[in-house]
Amino acid sequence: MSRLGTLGARLYRGEVGYDFVSKRKIWYGISILITITAILGLAVRGLNMGIEFSGGAVFETPKTSISATEAKHTAESAASGHTAVAQTLGGGRLRIQISDLDTNAAQPVQKKLAEKLKVDQSKINTQLVGPSWGKEIAHKAWKGLAIFMVLVVIYLAMAFEWRMALAALIALIHDLTITVGVYALVGFEVTPGTVIGLLTILGYSLYDTVVVFDGLKEASKGITKQNKFTYSEVANRSLNATLVRSINTTVVALLPVAGLLFIGGGFLGAGMLNDISLALFVGLAAGAYSSIFIATPLVADFKERDPAMKALAKRVRAKRASAAAKADSAGARDAEGDSDEQDTTEEQDGPTPAGVVGQRGAGSASAETTGRRTGQSAARNRGRGGKRR
């Protein structure tokens, strides 16, 4: 098993883990800072709306040797101050689009491009998009987004509880705000593909969030019947149990999207991929962040305000304080017992009292006296025996 797989198993069993929930103020601060930056970018620079929303004209050229930059300058010079966007298509063709351009203003641009490319004017394919159609598309996009949000809240409230539904809604708004702000800062064009990308990332963001919430729902059953863990601690354990799965899912989803954005849109110059790929890339990253650092800590915050969870937290703290007091008392008794044992040992093996020393000295002297007397008697006996011979 790989190291990541081993780590995932240990996280699931609760052997290791990172305390995300207790550090929630840090994550909230980071999210608020990023969100404020996105809102400022949106307010200062605004969104670069495509002609599908603002109306305008699109010109497609046949195969040509001139660059997209040259075609852009040519179109802008004929459009009387309007800004053009030029993209390179397959087969050496070009696509030039100019917002807020009506039919009368589009004809000079078409003629100028035909002269630049040295082709017949009819070879320049021109499509006009009215602003009313763009407003209708924008209205339908906002309506679809609102319906999606309402359905998500209703489903999560029924499947889990209203606190989880509220946390998920805040996380979704967080992801949308960051993605739209990045669009404003980067300056990419907002097209119907962008709307599709935004709706897609909401699904990915909800996937990670629902996985964590499902594990939290199972782990918190009967939580008030025990005194070992608070709700925040159970939420953190559930989050760690699904952490590796969330990371793996996000990385696997980001790799092909990164290929579309950086290789297809950047390196190969397929600019039409930028609108949807940027929304997917930023949204997936923001969704993975919000499901870990925003949604679950928010649920813990909401639940900890419940009276039952407040009582549980109070019991857990009291039990831990009692256990700590018992441990300190046991440690003090052990230390006192070690001290008494050391004193007893010193009494047994320590310096001998003076009276004991005198008794030992007297015994030694008596033994020496007895030895001398025995030696003298033996010598007299040997002497007598010699006289008898």
Long-range CB pairs of 130-137, under 8 A, 24+ apart, other chains included: 130/55, 131/54, 131/55, 131/100, 132/55, 133/52, 133/55, 134/49, 134/51, 134/52, 134/53, 134/54, 134/55, 135/53, 137/52, 137/53, 137/192
| Dist. CA 196–CA 273, nearest whole Å | 12
Ordered structural domains, the chain, with CATH: 3-49+133-316 (1.20.1640.10), 56-129 (3.30.70)
Q: Kindly report whether the global pTM for this prediction surpasses the value 0.75.
A: no
Q: Per-residue confidence of the chain (389 residues) as pLDDT tens digits?
A: 556 556 656 665 656 678 888 889 999 999 999 999 999 988 888 887 777 777 788 888 888 888 888 888 888 888 877 778 787 776 778 888 887 777 778 888 888 888 888 888 888 888 887 767 667 777 887 888 888 888 888 988 888 889 999 999 999 899 889 988 888 888 777 877 788 888 888 777 788 888 888 888 888 888 888 888 999 999 988 888 888 788 888 888 888 888 877 776 655 555 556 778 888 888 888 888 888 899 999 999 999 998 999 999 899 989 888 888 888 888 777 766 665 555 554 444 444 443 333 333 444 444 444 444 444 444 444 444 444 43
| Dist. CA 99–CA 80, nearest whole Å | 12
Nearest to 204 by CA among 186, 238, 179: 179
* Total residues found in the chain within this entry: 389
